[in-house]
Structure 1
Amino acid sequence: MDASRNAGFSLVEVLVTIVILLIGLLGLAGLQGRALTAQMEAYQRSQALVLLKDMADRINANRSNAASYVTTLGTGAACPAAGSSVASIDLNEWCNALMGAAEAQSGVGNVGAMVGARGCITQTVAPASGAPSQYLVAVAWQGLNSTAAPTITCGTGQYGNEALRRVVALPISMADLN
């Protein structure tokens, strides 16, 4: 067997192995990036559901003044001042939660909520004699990846691309107990 014909053959095998290993590592890095994005999307959705349920419970506890809750929050730099009514206090606290006031980071500000959170409360059916009034509580935020645009209008036009807008909503019925 001629030794000169086999010279360098092991080096080529090592180079091919390194290239294959690098491709695998790049694939793992891409997978890790997608996993982090999916984890952040899931975190934001869970935070939105907590805030959605919080406001639905507040409206349910103050059902005689449910119409006072109809508003859109989280669209400005500051939340509306809390007045003396239970509804205005609830709306102020919910707005602060939407703006991330539950957790602050020095130099950055509020970081305890979703990206660009908005809260919308609309009356979908006005109260009628013997019929319940209905409200829709919705929380919108900006997602990280494009998906289908939601049909609920909360936060429409706020995120540049409607495919980045995420919305969770909960309908509430208030029976006329008079």
Structure 2
Amino acid sequence: MATSRQAAAGFSLVEVLVSIVVLSIGLLGSIGMLLAAVRTGKEAATFAAAVNLVRDLSEKVRMNPGVAVRHDAGNTYLVADWTEDSGTGAVHSGCAAAGTACNAEGLATWDMGEWKRRVAKALPGVRLRVCFDEKPWNAAAGEYDWACSQSGRHMVVKLGWVPHADTAAAKQEAKPQRELPPRLVMQLVSG
């Protein structure tokens, strides 16, 4: 009789150990799903911030159509290729204070300087291009393209940034942000 009680006690200990292992695997899976959800939520928030920044620039451009429709160097809304390391450029100080006179070109310069500062703060490893482009989609590659046609009526903004999860890894790896396609391309105004 004593032998059967010891076997039963040992068998229930194995069951407990197996259930602890199964529970641990389930908890690890839950933690992995939670981390993925947090990472996805963070990236969604960054994408929403990028969309809001582009919407804000679109409103600024539409309020200053005399400068925005120009295809020359006088259109300070156009940005050839900008990264957060490039700086924000010249700021037209006459547009910063209330009650000061500000012309359309000065307002555009001030708008872009302030907007670039906000973009650099909100988007890690950002790359930016604002240009006239008729076909931002590269059908052969199946993705948006950084190159601009510099012709046509459509002013577009092209934004690229490093996802939060990849920020540290992107600095280490050989393929820099410059080679990644834009993550967001939106039309600002039709000229």
TM-score where L is the length of structure 2: 0.67
- Percent identity (aligned): 27
Deviations for 1:150-176, whole angstroms, at most 9, x for unmatched residues? xxxxxxx742763xx55212224445x
Of the structure 1 ranges 115-124 and 62-71, higher mean CA displacement relative to structure 2 is found in 115-124
Gaps of 5+ in 2: 95-105, 135-149, 167-174
Aligned residues: 147
Is 1:118 the equivalent of 2:120?
no
Shift of the 52–20 alpha-carbon distance from structure 1 to 2, 3 Å rule, reads same
Mapped partners of 1:120, 1:133: distance in 2: 16
Which amino acid in structure 2 is aligned with residue 170 of structure 1? Answer: M
Question: Do 1:56 and 1:137's aligned partners in 2 also have CA atoms closer than 8 Å?
Answer: no
* Change in 2 beyond 3 A, CA 1:171/1:160: closer
Q: CA deviation at 1:117?
A: 2.1
Q: 5+ residue gaps in structure 1?
A: 101-112, 147-156
Deviation digits for residues 125-144 of structure 1 (CA, Å, limit 9, x no counterpart): 678xxxx8321122221125
More RCO (CA 8 Å, sep 6+): 2
Q: Distance in 2 between matches of 1:121 and 1:161?
A: 17
Could you say what the CA RMSD is over the residues aligned between the two structures, in angstroms?
A: 2.5
Larger proportion of helix: 2
Instruction: Return the TM-score normalized by structure 1.
Output: 0.71
Q: In the alignment, what sits opposite 1:169?
A: 185
Cα shift readout 1:99-140 (whole Å, capped 9, x = no counterpart): 11xxxxxxxxxxxx121123321012678xxxx832112222
| Mapping 1:14-93, distance limit 5 Å | 14-66=16-68, 67=70, 68=75, 69-71=77-79, 72-83=81-92, 85-93=106-114
Residue pair 2:127, 2:177 contacting (<8 A) in 1 also: no
CA 1:70–1:160 in structure 2 vs 1: closer, same or farther (change >3 Å)? Answer: closer
Would you tell me which structure has more strand in proportion to its own residues? Answer: 1
